[in-house]
Structure 1
């Protein structure tokens, strides 16, 4: 019997296996799987996969439907509908999760051709980010303070930097999610966790200007007005102006145009790096960013060149070394104290 014949026989034997059962088995396997580094899949990844699987396979009852044209088209439609309008990185991550599940189904003999399910649904082009994603504090301040840009954009950029939140976590905010007295905002983090974002006074002032007279609806709005035909969810429309909730693509486009290529994640990366440079503890950074796994936080703990240079200048100033940019600081020559001869360790 050929390999194909064996696999078909296995599929026939499991024709009644329900999608819910195979998804549960797949997720259990993922929870105990070790990657190339030897580490078990993080809880954050498991939560992301657990939330994505029911969406991708919605409308299917038994696993062998994935070997039919109708079943395959159903999965492709689900993926396009749920994540087709998201950022390329998000779409590619969700598609990869679905592809991983399909590969597992094939290994177990439940389906015959995992690649056929996502045929025609290719990965989206994802430009490689600038190697240095940490933007200077001065450049960020200039961006937020530049009134040539809309108040909507400047408020979003200020909040993105202050909270170190992902753009998606900010764009889903409604006016009712704000605790303006305490400068907090309640959002849903990546993976579905409810959390509070913390923002600064500058952002609070911009929000006050942006939301003047508004008591409900999305905080960040696009310029597009929603049609009155029910195709846009009521929660994504401002009840007064009928403007739609701002999308990630719009956010990405506006920021890129204003900066010559920055990505929304650059503001998050910069904030966490700057906070680390200023002495924030690892626990502080996890509270700020929403990370639950210390390993994923490590990329933000490397100081930028500007940060290191600034700290070294401050150290030199404390030691009395003259600084060209601070002529007001008195110059005190550094005196090296000689150790008493008795304290000097003689070579052996």
Structure 2
């Protein structure tokens, strides 16, 4: 795919040889335009969520670096300081994601001939160690059922938890749903998966009943709402506001906080992980799990196909119950009788 190296708003290679080099703001703008139109290995355009995440992170990372030429000198240290200062205290996955965004931008700048080796710019700013996923994050069916049935908790939250578990969807894919996205007769919901793919979520009868109670006569607007009221000044996106109550769409952070407060620190991904593990224990095929979860690579499903301790114990108990009490055969009894 053609890059933006000939855009008139961005200096060309000759300008990159000037003492200051290409203005950083113009270089970042060129990279973001390139990113927004780039197709990944799947053939799909970069998702709007990814573009927004990069648009948020990159100005923070490059703050104080006026020209790309500075990256060969003090600008490199400034870049490292900015990244560590903004995300050094965040989870390793967050830090690594922001570092990866910067690395992508640097690789693009190198391809345009605007900077030297991008690896040299990031040298000394290593990825944080990310521990392997914890299998103990699989929650038992009984605990999940009790959580969803606990009427001390708001119906809004319980319906969200039921939908996250039954669909095995990522939290973002459920929180972005509007009432118009529901196919209630067939218990499906249209959403945009990670990577920008349009797909349908599949939910169960329990979730369908709870959605009916939650929505009442609402026919449009976000399904899951926060307590925040949107100002009537046009600053809140129309899609993220309930037209009747003016309540805003529930955010990921709010949903995570509510679940953590109702449990001993569960996170939203625990429900997705648990559902896929339970479905695998019940005999769902890889194709079933991929259809349910939206995964496109079988390798990413392997950790969900590992049974939980509860699942293993339940199957072993079932084997024991089916086997019953062992008794010797007639041949064994005859052998005992003749050897005495």
Distance 2:167 2:140 in 1: 17
* Counterpart contact for 1:49–1:97, Cα < 8 Å: no
CA gap 1:231/1:57 in 2 versus in 1, 3 angstroms: closer
- The one of 2, 13, 30 equivalent to 1:19 is 30
- The Cα of 1:226 is off from its aligned counterpart by 0.6
SS in 2 for 1:197: strand
Alignment of 1:173-212 (within 5 A): 173-212=177-216
Quickly say closer, same or farther: Cα 1:54–1:150, change in 2 above 3 A: closer
Count of matched residue pairs: 288
2:261 corresponds to 1:277? no
**TM-score normalized by structure 1?**
0.69
Paired with 1:134 and 1:252, the residues of 2 have a C-alpha distance of 17
Cα RMSD after superposing both structures:
4.4
Deviation at 1:133, TM superposition (A): 1.0
Maintained 8 Å contact 1:22/1:105: no
Which consecutive residues of structure 1, in runs of 5 or more, have no partner in the other structure? Answer: 1-7, 32-41, 77-83, 321-331, 340-348
Q: How far is the alpha carbon of 1:316 from its aligned partner? A: 1.2
The structure-2 alpha-carbon separation of the partners of 1:157 and 1:189, relative to structure 1 and needing over 3 Å to count, comes to same
Q: Secondary structure at the match of 1:222?
A: strand
CA shift for structure 1 position 96:
3.2
Cα distance between partner residues in 2 of 1:293 and 1:173: 24
Over 3 Å counting, the alpha-carbon distance change for 1:288 and 1:337 in structure 2 is farther
Q: Which residue of 2 aligns with 1:67?
A: 68
Q: Aligned pair in 2 of structure 1 residues 197, 336: CA closer, same or farther (>3 Å)?
A: farther
Deviations 1:238-284 (A, max 9, x none): 00000000000000000001002001000000000000000001100
Question: Counterparts of 2:258 and 2:172 in 1: how far apart (Å)?
Answer: 15
**Which of 141, 144, 164 is matched with 1:140 structurally?**
144
**Unmatched 5+ stretches in structure 2:** 1-12, 60-64, 80-86, 333-340
In structure 1, how many angstroms separate the alpha carbons of the residues matched to 2:131 and 2:298? 27
- Give the secondary-structure state (helix, strand or coil) at the position aligned to 2:164: helix
1:102 is displaced (CA, Å) by 3.0
Asked if the contact 2:277/2:304 (under 8 Å) is kept, the reply is: yes
Contact residue 164 and residue 271 of structure 1 kept, 8 A: yes
Partner of 2:156: 152
Distance change >3 Å, CA 50–CA 65, structure 1 → 2: farther
- C-alpha separation between the residues in 1 aligned to 2:114 and 2:47? 20
Q: Distance in 2 between matches of 1:93 and 1:238?
A: 35
The match for 2:299 is: 295
Among candidates 247, 254, 260, match of residue 251 of structure 2: 247
Query: Is contact 2:68–2:114 with CA below 8 Å preserved after alignment?
Result: no
- Say whether the 8 Å CA contact 1:48–1:190 is kept in structure 2: no
Are the aligned partners of 1:187 and 1:194 in contact in 2 as well (CA < 8 Å)?
yes
1:100 aligns with 2:103: yes
**Residue number in structure 2 paired with 1:333:** 326
